[in-house]
Amino acid sequence: MYLPTVIAGEDNLYVLVDKKQVAAVMLSGWMFAGAGIFALLMALVTVCQPATKATMVNPVKSLQAELPAGIAPE
């Protein structure tokens, strides 16, 4: 069993598929930029969704829920 090996060139990505075969894959700058923008958008969605949910909660109600059972709020 032969594992493919990836070698990065100046403007190509070379994949050594077999001991005798080499596949060249053309990569452009917009592919890297698109992947970076996609990663940033996913990070923003992941962070902003819980943050927005936390801002909608009434802090008084959440603090009252944390009080022990025998203590009444003043």
57 inside domain:
yes
The closest alpha carbon to 22, from 11, 33, 12, belongs to 12
Do residues 15 and 3 touch, judged by C-beta distance below 8 A?
no
Interatomic CA distance for residues 42 and 33, integer angstroms: 14
22 inside domain:
yes
54 inside domain:
yes
58 inside domain:
yes
What's the distance, CA 16 to chain centroid?
29
72 inside domain:
no
pLDDT of residue 72: 61
- In total, how many domains does the chain have? 1
pLDDT of residue 3: 62
Residue 1: is its pLDDT beyond 60? no
Interatomic CA distance for residues 64 and 73, integer angstroms: 7
42 inside domain:
yes
Domain of residue 20, residue span: 5-66
73 inside domain:
no
pLDDT in tens, 39-70: 999 999 999 998 898 888 888 877 777 777 66
